[in-house]
Structure 1
């Protein structure tokens, strides 16, 4: 697939190619109507764009249709593309790469951009695709080229030439996939980086909020001040300074240990410390 074709459009073109010619490998680009490519003097993908258009006039008479290539371009379609694409030259080789670019141009002509941005409904876009490729069905009852057609029928039903080659449910599934992929791709530039930065900063912000929660806790400050007050009272009332230093240390350890236990048992403190 040509690298200039967006991922969503590439999925759709692969589907159309397989539906139109029954395959989506490299050989699919050499197919002409009724699989009569073996009668050509040279492979289609080695012919110039101008030579293909010229030969299609004869194919219409001998084969019943001028459809050629992976996307079964009609002669009138290629002539129209030549007018719409200034860079397209008659000497350009009808390679798979060129065919992909032309196929994508047809998608855009039928409203691809409006479809992926939500301006065009899935049913309407499906109808437009059915107007371009006769093997695709309409997705709702509508007026066709020849007559009123029902969901699942070809837009060209009644012409005695074209028929649907795929179920409407399959088309809908592919279009939904295309839509999902295309919308992911049109995410504003830099948005992913911003999101990643926010996710990276989230843990730090969460930790900071925990610290603020601890600092605002009345129970935390109550126990902390109680512990401090107990130390002062013990030193003053019990006259600990006259005791042996080992006894002083033991008493102070008990008081501080009790305060630490009380504070660390607080849910907000345990959460901040990552304890369960």
Structure 2
């Protein structure tokens, strides 16, 4: 049979229930040992390792009457069983955090998951808690360990040791609180999951637009503006030839006019962006 696993995280509803159990079993906290004899220990209980607590348990039973230790009053045999089932290291410190994880493991073993899911009723789960923690009452008449017991009795009635420390109504009220918190946590998780799914769907249905590739500049020879300027130069030269009787002018005047027209055309064409890019010139 594969080893079970000790939970790493204790959910909020389970922590609420464990805090309630601890307030009844050990009001003085995680460092308590049976009979509130923790002040007689050489070191605080929460500084000891799990193996040290287990080893000391038999001595506490002889000296104080029970091996119950910690905020949830773990019995020595219970700790040994959890260690065997989960394979956890005995070198772990018996801290508050470890005790909560151990307590949650016990809750799971008593049907906590089914209780939260509505598969196990309050009365049945209440009996399971009473079987684990003797100070808790059964919530309906039932068969106890030694004899039939009535609502409000300890499951271990008749053993001459254990007794109930709270009313069944208080247990029922707390279990209802646990259910409500579990429901709220589940609803929040479902809402978060639904929101995440909606966001993913929205992104899939409306992917971001793909930016168009930048337009490539037209080759100089295909540029309309190039031919416009070139044509402008040609028209100006034709106009001069026809209107001014170019060939009838003095050759020096002819040369001057040609320089002006050609210079104007060259300047206009050279200032075009495609021309400058083609020539590797930077725009000012």
The TM-score with structure 1 as length reference comes to 0.66
Partner of 2:184: 184
Whole-Å separation in 1 of the counterparts to 2:179 and 2:163: 26
Whole-Å separation in 1 of the counterparts to 2:188 and 2:85: 29
Whole-Å separation in 2 of the counterparts to 1:90 and 1:80: 12
Following superposition, the deviation at residue 185 of structure 1 comes to 1.7
Partner of 2:80: 79
Partner of 1:137: 137
Q: How does 1:109-258 map to 2 (within 5 A)?
A: 109-187=109-187, 189-192=189-192, 194=194
Q: In 1, are the aligned partners of 2:10 and 2:101 still within 8 Å (CA)?
A: yes
Partner of 1:90: 90
Partner of 2:237: none
Whole-Å separation in 1 of the counterparts to 2:102 and 2:150: 30
Whole-Å separation in 1 of the counterparts to 2:100 and 2:195: 34
Cα deviations by residue, 1:46-75 (Å, 9 ceiling, x for unpaired): 001000000001111111111000000001
Write out the 4+ residue segments of structure 1 that deviate beyond 3 Å after TM superposition: 187-190, 192-198
Cα deviations by residue, 1:211-232 (Å, 9 ceiling, x for unpaired): xxxxxxxxxxxxxxxxxxxxxx
Whole-Å separation in 2 of the counterparts to 1:163 and 1:66: 17
Number of matched residues? 192
* Structure 2 unmatched runs, 5+: 1-6, 199-284
Whole-Å separation in 2 of the counterparts to 1:100 and 1:176: 21
SS at match of 2:137: coil
Quickly say closer, same or farther: Cα 1:191–1:46, change in 2 above 3 A: same
Whole-Å separation in 2 of the counterparts to 1:47 and 1:196: 44
Quickly say closer, same or farther: Cα 1:60–1:182, change in 2 above 3 A: same
Q: In 2, are the aligned partners of 1:151 and 1:168 still within 8 Å (CA)?
A: yes
Whole-Å separation in 2 of the counterparts to 1:181 and 1:195: 21
Between 1:188-197 and 1:33-42, the stretch displaced more is 188-197
Q: In 2, are the aligned partners of 1:117 and 1:183 still within 8 Å (CA)?
A: no
Partner of 1:63: 64
* Structure 1 unmatched runs, 5+: 199-276
Quickly say closer, same or farther: Cα 1:173–1:41, change in 2 above 3 A: same
The TM-score with structure 2 as length reference comes to 0.64
Whole-Å separation in 2 of the counterparts to 1:85 and 1:38: 31
Partner of 2:249: none
Quickly say closer, same or farther: Cα 1:192–1:144, change in 2 above 3 A: same
SS at match of 1:186: helix
Quickly say closer, same or farther: Cα 1:56–1:193, change in 2 above 3 A: closer
Following superposition, the deviation at residue 166 of structure 1 comes to 0.7
Whole-Å separation in 2 of the counterparts to 1:62 and 1:84: 28
Whole-Å separation in 1 of the counterparts to 2:73 and 2:83: 16
SS at match of 1:30: coil
SS at match of 1:41: coil
Root mean square deviation, CA, Å:
2.1
Q: In 2, are the aligned partners of 1:146 and 1:158 still within 8 Å (CA)?
A: yes
Partner of 2:99: 99
Partner of 1:108: 108
2:37 pairs with 1:36: yes
